[in-house]
């Protein structure tokens, strides 16, 4: 089935039907995927726009590909793309945005944490003129510790980033075609989708939704992966850590000069030699620590530069999946 945009024959301009693609990154989501497809289809039953689903299989180890193929057999609006291995959530979203057709593209998780009804709210905001309608979670359902960590991250990121990062807004959002094109034109390899989406600008509208608990399957994110994601998000959008390190250097240099003066003046005045071993060792340790931290932060950025200059693709697509049996390329 062609994915080309179709206008209803002889339809009046006001009754124009738009094409809306729903991009769903899927990593081991064989249980959630059919349920998501069912719930979203039901919620969008009366929607006047033409809907497409694009499931991105991010190198799943389970039968996610089979689930996509079954959905595509039942429903011609479904297409799938399978990546050559697990490239991560960000890469799967990027693959989806690059391959999605339509006047608007929605990105949502497979795990039903983003509710099907919220999709309608996003579409309504777009009809009212939004270029980016992003879901803002009213209440998080995760544990206390994780909630505190998320809140700390958004506070830190909000202070440090050169863009206005909306609080509590994840990937779940709708973007108009011009925003999707703007994102696809961005060349960087270290991608933090909510940040890039905010960077794009245009008319950004928050839509309050409730984020539910994951119903099926389990989270694909370990604490280590989340931490790496948070560091990536900040380093991608802020040079503040580098500047902070410079400030730290100035402060420790000032302390060193003051200490040096103290020692010189003391010895000229002949007040006797203070053994001062303890203070010496403290200063050395302090400076060594400052230098290591500095090196680490600089290294974070050097690593990013390395990633960018290698120009490796962020994902490699293996197969297109549709309903007619085997994968087609
Ligand atoms: N995901 C992915 N690749 C990965 C990890 C996750 O495509 O390497 C998908 C996953 O299938 C889900 C979405 O990204 O649709 C969010 O993942 P998850 O629900 O595990 O994260 P959480 O909601 O716990 O932050
Ligand atoms: Mg989830």
Residue list, ligand 1 pocket, CB within 6 Å: 25-27, 29, 58, 86, 88-89, 92, 109-111, 113, 214, 219-221
CA-nearest residue for atom 23, ligand 1, is 219
Q: What percent of the chain has pLDDT over 70?
A: 87
Index of the ligand 1 atom closest to the CA of residue 58 = 7
Index of the ligand 1 atom closest to the CA of residue 219 = 20
> Ligand 1: which of 111, 192, 217, 223 to mutate, most ligand atoms within 8 Å of CB?
111
| CB 142 within 8 Å of CB 56 | no
Distance 74 CA to ligand 1 centre (A): 25
pTM over 0.75: no
Let me know if 101 is exposed, middle or buried by CB neighbors in 10 A (0-12, 13-18, 19+). Answer: middle
| pLDDT single digits (tens) 223-272 | 888 888 888 777 777 777 877 877 887 788 788 778 778 777 877 777 66
Does the structure show a pLDDT above 80 at 42?
A: yes
The ligand placed nearest to the CA atom of residue 93 is 1
- For residue 186, what are its two tokens? 């961005």
CA-nearest residue for atom 8, ligand 1, is 88
Burial code of 226-251, b = ≥16 C-beta within 10 A, e = fewer? Answer: eeebbebbbbbbbeebeeebeeeeee
CA-nearest residue for atom 6, ligand 1, is 89
- For residue 247, what are its two tokens? 């400030």
Does the structure show a pLDDT above 90 at 142?
A: no
Three-state SS across 193-230? HHHHHHHHCCCEEEEEECCCCCCCCCCCCCHHHHHHHH
As a whole number, the mean pLDDT across the chain is 81
Distance 85 CA to ligand 1 centre (A): 15
């Amino acid at each position: 089935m062609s994915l080309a945009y179709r206008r209803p024959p002889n339809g009046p301009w006001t009754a124009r039907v738009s094409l809306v693609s729903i991009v769903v990154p899927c990593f081991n989501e064989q249980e959630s995927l059919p349920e998501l497809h069912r719930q979203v289809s039901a919620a969008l039953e009366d929607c006047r726009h033409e809907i497409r689903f694009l499931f991105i299989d991010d190198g799943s180890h389970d039968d996610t590909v089979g689930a996509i193929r079954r959905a595509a057999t039942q429903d011609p609006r479904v297409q799938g793309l399978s990546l050559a291995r697990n490239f991560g959530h960000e890469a799967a979203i990027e693959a989806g945005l690059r391959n999605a057709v339509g006047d608007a593209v929605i990105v949502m998780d497979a795990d039903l944490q983003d509710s099907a009804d919220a999709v309608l709210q996003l579409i309504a905001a777009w009809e009212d003129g939004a270029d980016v309608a992003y879901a803002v979670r009213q209440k998080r359902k995760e544990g206390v510790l994780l909630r505190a960590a998320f809140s700390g991250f958004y506070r830190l990121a909000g202070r440090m980033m050169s863009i206005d990062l909306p609080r509590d807004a994840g990937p779940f959002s709708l973007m108009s075609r011009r925003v999707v094109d703007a994102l696809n034109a961005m060349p960087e390899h270290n991608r933090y989708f909510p940040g890039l989406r905010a960077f794009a600008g245009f008319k950004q509208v928050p839509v309050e939704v409730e984020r539910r608990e994951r119903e099926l399957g389990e989270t694909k994110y370990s604490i280590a992966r989340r931490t790496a994601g948070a560091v990536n998000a900040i380093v991608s959008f802020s040079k503040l850590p580098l500047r902070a390190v410079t400030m730290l250097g100035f402060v420790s240099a000032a302390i060193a000069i003051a200490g040096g003066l103290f020692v010189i003046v003391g010895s000229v005045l002949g007040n006797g030699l203070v053994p001062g071993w303890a203070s010496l060792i403290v200063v050395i340790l302090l400076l060594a620590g400052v230098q290591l931290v500095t090196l680490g932060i600089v290294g974070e950025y050097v690593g990013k530069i390395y990633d960018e200059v290698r120009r490796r693709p962020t994902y490699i697509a293996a197969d297109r999946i549709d309903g007619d049996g085997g994968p087609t390329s």
